[in-house]
Copies of this chain bind each other. A is one copy, B any other.
């Protein structure tokens, strides 16, 4: 199978297009041009068109894109035409915030399972999900066929839990620990590292300031 190589950034943007298009459609804009979409997303029109062109021709020249049908096309492309079930491990500060966040469901993700290893938390219900014993992670995830897992356990526990997830057949992990995970190539790992982002912001604001002076 020959797959034209699609930039990984493009996939992220497709999701944002999906979000923005839904919003525009709600406002009554049924036809959307690359210019309009680009403005809403703060990027260039050419980027929008190129991104879409990796997957086909979805627009009408001289006119633009039909919002409703483009939304469906994008959903198919990024596999969000079906709801994605997600498991969450570690119901501490971050985990609790995620469970209470209702917007995920509107965007196609649903946290359907939550785990912790603290006896004082197991059995509690947060949001609509009951916290289960982390000892059952493997069995439960394996049997339910969940592919995407969010990891919000303390740093020291991260790689241990990640190994269990691998055995359970998880395909992707979104971790809040400053990484250090080395997983086999068939498992996708993304780390959210707030400190790194802050460090970048601090550096850039200093540099930019200097360059202007």
Contact = CB atoms under 8 A, between A and B. Distances in A.
B208 A79 contact: no
B204 A8 contact: yes
Contacts of A185: 208
Interface residues of A: mostly helix, strand, loop or mixed?
helix
A212 B187 CA distance: 13
Contact of A97 (B14, B93, B109): B93
B94 A172 contact: no
Contact of A204 (B11, B109, B180): B11
Q: How often does this chain occur in the complex, in copies?
A: 2
Interface in A162-179: 171-174, 178-179
A172 B203 CA distance: 10
Given A178-B19, A197-B192, A79 B203 contact: yes
A200 B194 contact: no
A63 interface: no
B171 A205 contact: yes
B208 A188 contact: yes
A21 interface: no
A109 B78 contact: no
A148 to B, nearest CB: 6
Given A78-B203, A84-B198, A109-B198, 15 more contacts: A1-B211, A3-B211, A12-B200, A15-B196, A42-B179, A80-B202, A93-B101, A107-B195, A109-B195, A148-B201, A171-B209, A174-B194, A185-B208, A186-B212, A190-B201
